[in-house]
Structure 1
Amino acid sequence: MAAEWQWENAAAGSAAGLATVSFTHPLDVIRTRFQVNDGRLSNLPTYKNTPHALFTIARTEGFRGLYAGFYPAVLGSTISWGLYFYFYSKAKQRYLRSREELSPVLHLASAAEAGGLVCFCTNPVWLVKTRLQLQTPQQVRPYSGFHDALRTILKEEGWRALYKGLVPGLFLVTHGAIQFTAYEELRKMVIKFRTEESAENPNVAENLLDSFDYAVLGASSKLAAVALTYPFQVIRARLQQRPNIEGIPRYVDSWHVMKETAR
């Protein structure tokens, strides 16, 4: 029964990932292009803002441009959500062998373990997605698709290239922990404020929050997590760019990205 529940979680997570990617992929393309725009020479056009980027890509590259890298995005998201729920369930089961229930620390440990394993398993897919999203019609020797990109990367750069951006990707695992912590702390603050304001019994303070409150708390905690982890997304995207025609990468490692970006 437990194994069946794990696979149900994995299937539900995969379906959620597919739906999310399908609706938001054009914005993901724009985000990736903004992230790698470092003000230096680039084969990418310069966009003023998000609407301008949407209009320019649609006009010059068409629908294919807005959905560049869609296949690896769907594949990566589906695999990531599925594996995450599976690894998370397995980790919780392992911690529960010697105790009746999990503490918040062990919940976070389970989430971090699952996130790290998923990151390692899916990094090659995200690298290909990033490179396909950065391709333009003027690209020299463009990849024809996901499988061509994988073959070309392995042939020209070796298997290690598939794990470029892994280190900042592992730091991005903290996103969920930050969001969870921010949500719980904000919830406690709101409940305390409402309880003091209404002078009601703290035991029923939970009822002081309605659906709108939970939506605001969720959005606020998500915003906090994004703000704190976004620099790691920028570092990862810049590391995963395709090398130039001579095979020289634009950035060597995460520290090089931080130094050059700060400069």
Structure 2
Amino acid sequence: MSRNDKKSTVHLFAGGVAGAVAATATAPLEVVKTRLQSSVVAFQPVHAPVLATSAGPVTTPATSALARPGNTLACLRRIVATEGTRSLFKGLGPTLVGIAPSRAIYFACYNHFKSYYNAVFEPNTAPVHLSAAVSAGVTACTITNPIWVIRTHLQLDPTTKESFRYSAVKCVKDVWRREGLRGFYRGLTASYAGTSETAIYFVLYERFKENLRKQGLLENSQSTTSTDVIQYMIASACAKLTATVIAYPHEVARTRLRQNDGANRRYHSLIQTLVRVWREEGRHGLYGGLGTHLIRVIPNSAILFATFETIVRFSAAWSD
């Protein structure tokens, strides 16, 4: 195995493991965030009967608003009270099935495209990181989009602990029956738009790491100290916070394009969805669930990249 092939394999493995660890740790917040982004009933009153079915109910804005607790903690409590603790991990199966190959594909592609663009642009500059991040993001989300459609359907299913649980297999059958292959690629355009967030993130992350090295806060050796891990986590968190706030509306659009809102679908494309949400719900609609998303995404990103960098450096040190 050549040195480049070995490096790609390490990045593939490290990306998969890091993604799975981060996704499992923050799964409950992912469920809450997705429900707050959606326009279907996402939180049932504690003692009210559940009217939703696997087909996914359609609600008016007033009904939807009444069904939403006021903050992340209240949302978590409502889910546990009405659906059981297991419901905090709805969609985790598809997430784990998809996150490892998704992150693995992403990191491997990022490493590959970074090498490619280093030969096109000035090496290790912002254009290189930007181009590599966008190329890797488009590749990964195109391949794995069907998995995330299924995950969204499962996360939005409000069936209680006493009633029938919507399975991934049944979800796949329902999507195929209603829309065929096209149904598995809903929200793909919004995912493409989301590569802008990833691009901003990687540019900032690489810049923060370089600044830390210049200040002597990161070692250039292959060994990784506990201080290095903390610095990676801080750099990752700061970069992710900035990128997320800038690009967040695409997350809301993606969720609404993927949700099942009945026969009369209200959301059809990225631009149409953004315009409709803005007209009907204003800024709050475009940034629904942002607080929960930030609470989730910053530790998720920090855990992800700390795990990734540690595995890569450990592998490099072990092979020397």
By how many angstroms is 1:205 displaced? 5.8
Residues 143 and 90 of structure 1: is their aligned pair in 2 closer, same or farther, counting only changes over 3 Å?
A: farther
Aligned residues: 246
Residues 125 and 215 of structure 1: is their aligned pair in 2 closer, same or farther, counting only changes over 3 Å?
A: closer
> Which residue of the partner structure matches residue 141 of structure 2?
119
2: distance between equivalents of 1:87 and 1:69? 26
Amino acid in the other structure paired with 1:144: Y
Amino acid in the other structure paired with 1:248: N
Amino acid in the other structure paired with 2:126: P
Does 1:219 pair with 2:237? yes
Identity of aligned residues (%): 30
By how many angstroms is 1:185 displaced? 6.3
1: distance between equivalents of 2:214 and 2:99? 38
User: 206, 212, 231: which one pairs with 2:215?
Assistant: 206
Q: Which moved more, 1:210-219 or 1:100-109?
A: 210-219
By how many angstroms is 1:229 displaced? 1.4
1: distance between equivalents of 2:271 and 2:121? 41
Q: C-alpha deviations, 1:59-97, integer Å up to 9, x for none?
A: 110022111111111122111111112222332344456
> Which residue of the partner structure matches residue 22 of structure 1?
24
> Which residue of the partner structure matches residue 56 of structure 2?
none
Whether the 8 Å contact between 1:33 and 1:44 is mirrored in structure 2 is: no
> Which residue of the partner structure matches residue 272 of structure 2?
256
Residues 215 and 252 of structure 1: is their aligned pair in 2 closer, same or farther, counting only changes over 3 Å?
A: closer
2: distance between equivalents of 1:116 and 1:41? 36
> Which residue of the partner structure matches residue 36 of structure 2?
34
Amino acid in the other structure paired with 1:227: V
Whether the 8 Å contact between 1:61 and 1:136 is mirrored in structure 2 is: yes
Amino acid in the other structure paired with 1:221: A
Where 1:168 maps in the other structure, the secondary structure is: helix
Whether the 8 Å contact between 1:241 and 1:250 is mirrored in structure 2 is: no
> Which residue of the partner structure matches residue 129 of structure 2?
107
Whether the 8 Å contact between 1:44 and 1:136 is mirrored in structure 2 is: no
2: distance between equivalents of 1:129 and 1:44? 25
Q: C-alpha deviations, 1:187-227, integer Å up to 9, x for none?
A: 89x89xxxxxxxxxxxx962378867765544322211110
Where 2:84 maps in the other structure, the secondary structure is: helix
Does 1:233 pair with 2:242? no
Whether the 8 Å contact between 2:102 and 2:140 is mirrored in structure 1 is: yes
2: distance between equivalents of 1:77 and 1:43? 31
By how many angstroms is 1:237 displaced? 0.5
Amino acid in the other structure paired with 1:72: P
User: 62, 66, 83: which one pairs with 2:84?
Assistant: 62
> Which residue of the partner structure matches residue 287 of structure 2?
none
Structure 1: where are the runs of 5+ without partners? 192-203
Where 1:47 maps in the other structure, the secondary structure is: coil
Whether the 8 Å contact between 2:118 and 2:128 is mirrored in structure 1 is: no
User: What's the Cα RMSD here?
Assistant: 3.1
**TM-score if structure 1 supplies the norm length?**
0.81
Amino acid in the other structure paired with 1:165: G
Amino acid in the other structure paired with 2:29: L
By how many angstroms is 1:23 displaced? 0.9
Q: C-alpha deviations, 1:218-254, integer Å up to 9, x for none?
A: 432221111011111011011111131xx22231222
2: distance between equivalents of 1:71 and 1:13? 18
2: distance between equivalents of 1:31 and 1:84? 23
Q: Which has the higher contact order (CA 8 A, sep 6+)?
A: 2
> Which residue of the partner structure matches residue 223 of structure 2?
none
Whether the 8 Å contact between 1:73 and 1:126 is mirrored in structure 2 is: yes
Where 1:147 maps in the other structure, the secondary structure is: helix
User: 164, 176, 189: which one pairs with 2:186?
Assistant: 164
1: distance between equivalents of 2:232 and 2:22? 21
> Which residue of the partner structure matches residue 282 of structure 2?
none
Residues 40 and 77 of structure 1: is their aligned pair in 2 closer, same or farther, counting only changes over 3 Å?
A: farther
By how many angstroms is 1:103 displaced? 3.9
By how many angstroms is 1:176 displaced? 2.5
User: In terms of Rg, which structure is larger?
Assistant: 1
Amino acid in the other structure paired with 2:143: C
By how many angstroms is 1:21 displaced? 1.1
Does 1:136 pair with 2:150? no
